[in-house]
Amino acid sequence: MVIRILTENGINEFFNQLQEIRTGTRQNLSVELLKENNFTASFDEEIEIEEGTFKTKKELIEYLCEKLNLKNNKHLYYHRGLWSWLSVFYFKDLTSIKDGKRKVNEDAKYILMEPKNWRRYYRHLLASFARVYCELDTLANPYLSYPVPIWSDLHEQLFAYQQIATNKPLIEAANKLYWDEKNSKIKRGAGSKNEGSPRRFSDIVGQFELTFDLNAMSLDAILSIFPEQEFKKWNSAA
Amino acid sequence: MIRRYNYTGRKKLLGIRINEWTKKGTKYFEVICDLRNSGFPDDAKIFVEPYFKSSFLRFDFGTIARFQPPANPDVSDLPTTDHLKYRIKVVDESSKHGLILGTADIRGVSVDNPHSGKQSILPVDFVELGSRIWTLEFRADRPVLAVNSLLTDFGIREKVKQGDFFTLVYPEVIKMIALKLVTEDGFYDEGLSGWQAEWMRYFKEVLRQTQMPTQNDENSVEEWVNDISEAFARKYQVVEHYKTLNKTN
């Protein structure tokens, strides 16, 4: 199907239908939301996309970024109508079925709410991860390793803060602590709230920022200021 | 009174001015400063970070000895707002730790509207608000009446402080601010500072509301915030204004 964009009217209808799915009065989004002129408009370019079986976020996000040539079209990061329409198109991939009922998360996971407000933006299941993929390259692998509908605690703790999400050495440090490179999986316990967890990582970054310009620091310099006692088990654990 | 201690040895950068202007819908800025005689090492780096709430951009402005602003830095990747702020950092990159040697946190001044630098007790900002027309935001330095920027093409800038909008919205806004103040530490022992102290002064000196609510008494608090809102509506005669504005012949 050729990519379209949702109009504001289409976005309102998307809100309504998400709510209807939550309350059980509807099972799926209507097909009209994808192509009706009342809800959609044509996109700047004619780009054909297809449904598919995407085992991980990476497969879907890589596919979309290539189709949109996103690395060279970064202004599209903020295109509310585009990313919201893509969420409609891939809605079945972005949601899961539990006890025979489609499980729908908060609206911001599917509708790009305030595109330039980071705290809203990072919650979008497609736009946010596509940007992470384009900006961080292979450093994004840990966050794209999950199945498409999954919202990991690791992502939540790190990417909720723009000062972490857009700082490559910081993400590299987090990967070194929480990503098992050899087995390509998140280290066991990285979702906890305990000592040295990603939650503590983001708390500590907030404190360091008062004294250090973390954007100007290398990976080694960043790791050297983290409390050794608390983080040493993560530095080596697989 | 909130006391702040600085144990970091960081200097506060003074004498910096940020000019902002808009051209073809894009907002640009320039930084006017000379930090060469501020006691920082010549090779210390200067970074400028325009920000609004949790979103920010980062620009490299060279070093203390060689101030090199980027060509036409624009802030179009930030949310729409009239209240952009700028963090300026002087950073020591010669040691391995990127220590911040000096900082400033200032508002830009619009060269299109030189009076924008004046701070009102209740500034109005035009921001992305989705389907809402207005909301009251308690930002770090003061409450701000946030109005949907999509409506600026429909004359909302001019209508906010007059007409129907003022009569219908402001009394409730004042009530929301009063309600927020009651919950602030120091409210009952005259220990407020910053914007909280400014608003208390406004309630007492302009609205003549010198009575305080009884602590831990919900009814008394509700009565107090309603009295404040009522005093505001009375002072600005909002009912009369509304009648005049909507008189049918």
Quick: pLDDT tens for A25-45: 998 999 999 999 999 999 999
Q: Is the per-residue pLDDT at B227 higher than 90?
A: yes
Q: Are the beta carbons of A216 and B45 separated by less than 8 Å?
A: yes
Mean of the pLDDT values across residues B186-214? 89
Q: Summarize pLDDT for A153-163 with one digit per residue, the tens.
A: 888 989 999 99
Contact indicator for A186, A178 with CB cutoff of 8 Å? yes
Q: Summarize pLDDT for B13-47 with one digit per residue, the tens.
A: 998 999 999 888 889 999 998 888 888 999 999 99
DSSP of chain B, one letter per residue? -------S-PEEP-S-EEEEEEETTEEEEEEE---TTSS--TT-EEEEEEEETTEE--EEEEESSSB-PPSS-B-TTSPP-S--EEEEEEEE-SSTT-EEEEEEEEE-EESSSGGGGSPPSS-EEEE--TT-SEEEEE-SSSEEEEEEGGGGGGTHHHHTTSHHHHHHHHHHHHHHHHHHHHTSTTTTTT---HHHHHHHHIIIIIS-----PPTT-HHHHHHHHHHHHHHHHHHTTHHHHHHHHT---
Pairing assessment for the beta strands B109-110 and A40-42 based on DSSP bridges: unpaired
Q: Are the beta carbons of A216 and B98 separated by less than 8 Å?
A: yes
CA distance B131 to chain A (A): 9
Contact indicator for B45, B38 with CB cutoff of 8 Å? no
Instruction: Kindly report whether the global pTM for this prediction surpasses the value 0.90.
Output: no
3-state secondary structure (DSSP) of residue A103: strand
- Of all residues in chain B, the percent with pLDDT exceeding 70 is 93
Report the pLDDT value the prediction gives residue A187, as an integer from 0 to 100.
Answer: 87
3-state secondary structure (DSSP) of residue A80: helix
- Of all residues in chain A, the percent with pLDDT exceeding 70 is 99
Report the pLDDT value the prediction gives residue A106, as an integer from 0 to 100.
Answer: 93
CA distance B162 to chain A (A): 28
Mean of the pLDDT values across residues A174-182? 90
CA distance A223 to A168: 13
Report the pLDDT value the prediction gives residue B4, as an integer from 0 to 100.
Answer: 55
The C-alpha angle B13, B16, B19, rounded to 5 degrees, equals 150
Amino acid at A199: R
Band of pLDDT at residue B7, cut at 50, 70 and 90: low
* H/E segment holding residue A118: helix A118-121
Q: Which of B52, B54, B56, B132 to mutate to test the interface with A (most CBs of A within 10 A)?
A: B54
3-state secondary structure (DSSP) of residue A226: coil
For A77, name the nearest residue in chain B, comparing CA atoms only: B77
Q: Summarize pLDDT for B111-129 with one digit per residue, the tens.
A: 877 566 567 889 999 998 8
Mean pLDDT for chain A overall: 91
Report the pLDDT value the prediction gives residue B145, as an integer from 0 to 100.
Answer: 95
Report the pLDDT value the prediction gives residue A234, as an integer from 0 to 100.
Answer: 80
User: Using CB atoms and an 8 Å cut-off, which of residues 212-231 of chain A contact chain B?
Assistant: 212-218, 220-221, 224-225
Q: Summarize pLDDT for B127-151 with one digit per residue, the tens.
A: 988 889 999 999 988 999 999 998 9
Say which residue, B110 or B170, is predicted with more confidence.
B170
Report the pLDDT value the prediction gives residue A114, as an integer from 0 to 100.
Answer: 86
Tokens 């995407």, residue located: A54
Band of pLDDT at residue B249, cut at 50, 70 and 90: low
Mean of the pLDDT values across residues B149-171? 89
Q: Summarize pLDDT for A36-94 with one digit per residue, the tens.
A: 999 999 999 999 999 988 999 999 999 999 999 999 999 999 999 999 999 999 999 99
Mean of the pLDDT values across residues A128-141? 93
Mean of the pLDDT values across residues B147-173? 90
Tokens standing for B156? 């909302």
Q: Is A23 on the interface with B (CB under 8 A)?
A: no
Distances (CA, A) of B33 to B46, B57, B69, B99, B114: 11, 19, 11, 21, 18
Report the pLDDT value the prediction gives residue A140, as an integer from 0 to 100.
Answer: 93
In the beta sheet, which residues pair with residue A48? A2
Q: Which of A33, A67, A61 is nearest to A49 (CA)?
A: A67
* H/E segment holding residue A146: none
Q: Summarize pLDDT for A221-238 with one digit per residue, the tens.
A: 898 888 888 888 787 654
- Of all residues in chain A, the percent with pLDDT exceeding 90 is 66
Report the pLDDT value the prediction gives residue A230, as an integer from 0 to 100.
Answer: 85
Chain A hits for B100, CB-CB cut-off 8 Å, are 210-213
Contact indicator for A37, A9 with CB cutoff of 8 Å? no
Tokens standing for A10? 């289409």
Q: Is the per-residue pLDDT at B1 higher than 60?
A: no
Chain A hits for B131, CB-CB cut-off 8 Å, are 12
Helix axis angle for A57-68 and A127-136, nearest 10°, is: 80
Band of pLDDT at residue B105, cut at 50, 70 and 90: very high
- Of all residues in chain B, the percent with pLDDT exceeding 90 is 56
- Provide the ipTM: 0.82
Say which residue, B97 or A114, is predicted with more confidence.
A114
Q: Are the beta carbons of A215 and B77 separated by less than 8 Å?
A: no
